[in-house]
Chain A
C-alpha cells in the first residue's frame, strides 16, 4: 500500500485541463523533491516532471507541476487524446525505512 495517495481517475474533454493531486507526509513529499511519470498502457513509464516542477527535454509545457507542503499537483492543459495514460508521482521516503515510493496512480481519460 502506497504512502502517496492519488485519485484513481480524472477525465476531461480535449482541450480542457486536468489536475492530479499527490498527497503524502513530512517523511516523503514534505522534505524531498517530487517527480511525475506518464505510462501509456503497455509501455514503460516515462519521466514527465522532476525536482517538483522541471520538465525534461522534449516534454511540452502543457505539463506543469507544483508542490506545497506535503502535497504535489500535476496539471495537464490543452488535453489531447495522446495524453490518455496512467500518471504516477514519486519521491524518496525517509520514515523507518528509506526507499523510493510511487503514488497509487491516476488514470487520465480524454472524453
Chain B
C-alpha cells in the first residue's frame, strides 16, 4: 500500500525558507493529487495547497504569496517551500495523498505522512 515519508529541517530562523520533502512509496506520484497541511501548536488543521503529477497547483490564498509546491516524478517525491518564515509558521506539517474529482466536488486526503515539526525561532 502507498506510504508517505516526509522530512526536512526542523529549526529555522525568522526570514529563512522552510523546505520539506515527501516521498511516495508503494505507489506513483503520477496520476493523483498531493497536498500539504499544517497544524500550529494547539490549533486545528490548515490546508496549504496541492499539486498533481503534471505540476498543476492550487494554494491557500492566505499563504499563496510565500508558498511553492513542486513535484519530481523521477524521484517520486513532492516538495513544500515556504519563504520568509516567522514564528507564526511554527507547526507540524503533513503531506497527504488527495483523492478528488476534476471539479473537486469530492475531495479528501486518504493517506498521510507522519508529520514534520518545524519551529521558527531566533
Contacts and interface: CB of A to CB of B under 8 A. Distances in A.
Chain B facing A: main interface SS? strand
A63 interface: no
B104 A92 contact: yes
Nearest to A52: B106
B109 interface: yes
Interface in B27-59: 35, 37, 44-47, 50, 58-59
Contacts, number: 73
Question: Interface residue tally of chain A, by bracket?
Answer: 20 to 34
Contacts of B112: 44-47
Interface in B48-84: 50, 58-61
Contacts of A33: 105-108
B47 A101 contact: yes
3 nearest A-B residue pairs (beta carbon): A35-B108, A100-B47, A102-B45
Interface of A: 2, 31-33, 35, 37, 39, 43-47, 50-51, 56, 88, 90-92, 97-105
